[in-house]
Amino acid sequence: MAVTRLAPLDPRWSGWLASRPDATLFHHPAWLRVVAGTYRYPSFVLAVSDDRGLRFGLPVVEISRAGLGRRWVSLPFTDWCPPLMDDGVGAAELVALLDEARREAGVNQLEVRGALIHDGEPAEVGHRHVLRLGDDAQALFGAFHPSQVQRSIRKAEREGVVVRRSTSSSDLLDHFYRLHVQTRRRQGVPVQPRAFFRLIADEVLARDLGFLLLASHGGRTVAAALFLAWNGTIIYKFGASEAAAWPVRPNHAIFWEAIQWGSANGFHTLDFGRTDFDTPGLRTFKLHWGSEEHPLVYSTLGGPRRVGAGRASHLVGPLIRHSPAWVARGIGELFYRFAA
């Protein structure tokens, strides 16, 4: 077997990807174009093949920093992007091949947002929560927490919360982005560049690879969530809401609509996304939907695992929370690409 670099749109990659039931939108060339295009990273697919064709694939961007050298990352700003690998591929041989390719390219480190065999210095960074969907959403409803989820869904219905599905770029860049900036400011974290969401509109929503759900109350959009949807899996990527609207439970209404839509349209899994260790309330919220909890494991080859941007975000948190919204946006525009 040999390691090769494929262009993201290489038909060998797209054809093999389409045959993989474990592939998600995070493996898709559209998501790679969003990440690489926003932050101007070179991108490619690390592929391992033999005489039978592709046996392993991993979308990658290359990040260079003055004084820090070069890194391959799969993928930054992505919750979960494990390697795709055929059964029967030798784990030890695969790791050796990837490590050799990294060293020959003069790259200091390969970082994977997933488990890269046990030789790859795996580290548990949080939790994943997934809900197995079926074609009967009402049957799923019975497994939700009676007071925390079922009652909240019914309250949203009584209060007149209306949820609509959209793939409109104007809904993403206007309604969603307004709420997203409010939410990030409230949380004390920087806001992703607007160009990031513009590319999501062009590469994901316009290609029917995801959708927005927007919840309205009293004629006003008070909550929204962005979902990625492809190959049987719906991924919850971003959510935003007005805190004043929480009593009418718009976020519960949004997730219930996503579950019903996914069940009706042949999706088998709803992935609730990454949950960090320091967000126990979010973890509990996701568990109340009857989701399965799994450890979220990231891996590295070459050097110690980098500490992410979480620590820096904690330092700027008070500044963002007590400043106008443009401060959170400005910090994100200037520095987000350095958090990868």
Distance CA 288, CA 131 (A): 11
Where do we find the tokens 């799994």?
294
In a domain, 325, yes or no: no
Do 103 and 177 share a structural domain? no
Query: How many other C-beta atoms can be found within 10 angstroms of the C-beta atom of residue 10?
Result: 17
Residue 91: predicted pLDDT: 77
Confidence of residue 90 (pLDDT cuts 50, 70, 90): confident
In a domain, 166, yes or no: yes
CB of 114 closer than 8 Å to CB of 22: no
In a domain, 37, yes or no: yes
Average of pLDDT values for 164-174? 97
The reply to whether omega before 172 is within 30° of 0 (cis) is: no
Do 154 and 90 share a structural domain? no
Residue 274: predicted pLDDT: 95
Domain final residue, candidates 267, 285, 315: 267
CB of 164 closer than 8 Å to CB of 333: no
Do 140 and 261 share a structural domain? yes
Q: What is the per-residue pLDDT across 248-278, written as a single tens digit (0 to 9) for each?
A: 999 999 999 999 999 999 999 999 999 999 9
Residue 59: predicted pLDDT: 97
Residue 25 has pLDDT above 70, yes or no: yes
Residue 117: predicted pLDDT: 61
Do 172 and 97 share a structural domain? no
Do 90 and 51 share a structural domain? yes
Residue 340 has pLDDT above 90, yes or no: no
Do 115 and 145 share a structural domain? no
Q: What is the per-residue pLDDT across 126-165, written as a single tens digit (0 to 9) for each?
A: 999 999 999 999 999 999 999 999 999 999 999 999 999 9
- CATH number, domain containing residue 12: 3.40.630.30
In a domain, 118, yes or no: yes
Of residues 58 and 332, more confidently modeled: 58
Do 164 and 47 share a structural domain? no
Three-state secondary structure of the chain? CEEEEECCCCHHHHHHHHCCCCCCHHHCHHHHHHHHHHHCCCEEEEEEEECCEEEEEEEEEEEEECCCEEEEEECCCCCCCCCEECCCCCHHHHHHHHHHHHHHCCCCEEEECCCCCHHHCCEEEEEEEEEECCCCHHHHHCCCCHHHHHHHHHHHHHCCCEEEEECCHHHHHHHHHHHHHHHHHHHCCCCCCHHHHHHHHHHHHCCCCEEEEEEEECCEEEEEEEEEEECCEEEEEEEEECHHHHHHCHHHHHHHHHHHHHHHCCCCEEEEEEEECCCHHHHHHHHCCCCEEEEEEEEEECCCCCCCCHHHHHHHHHHHHCCCHHHHHHHHHHHHHHHC
Confidence of residue 64 (pLDDT cuts 50, 70, 90): very high
Residue 2: predicted pLDDT: 82
Do 118 and 151 share a structural domain? no
Average of pLDDT values for 49-63? 91
Do 185 and 87 share a structural domain? no
In a domain, 149, yes or no: yes
Residue 306: predicted pLDDT: 62
Measured CA angle at 168 (ends 167, 174), to 5 deg: 125
Measured CA angle at 107 (ends 105, 111), to 5 deg: 125
Do 154 and 107 share a structural domain? no
In a domain, 7, yes or no: yes
Do 85 and 14 share a structural domain? yes
Q: What is the per-residue pLDDT across 27-37, written as a single tens digit (0 to 9) for each?
A: 999 999 999 99
Domain final residue, candidates 211, 243, 267: 267
Highest mean pLDDT: which range of 107-121, 180-194, 214-228 = 214-228
In a domain, 209, yes or no: yes
For 63, the domain range is 2-126+299-306
Q: What is the per-residue pLDDT across 272-329, written as a single tens digit (0 to 9) for each?
A: 999 999 999 999 999 999 999 999 999 999 876 665 555 555 678 888 887 888 788 8
Average pLDDT along the chain? 91
* Number of domains into which the chain is organized: 2
In a domain, 321, yes or no: no
Do 100 and 55 share a structural domain? yes
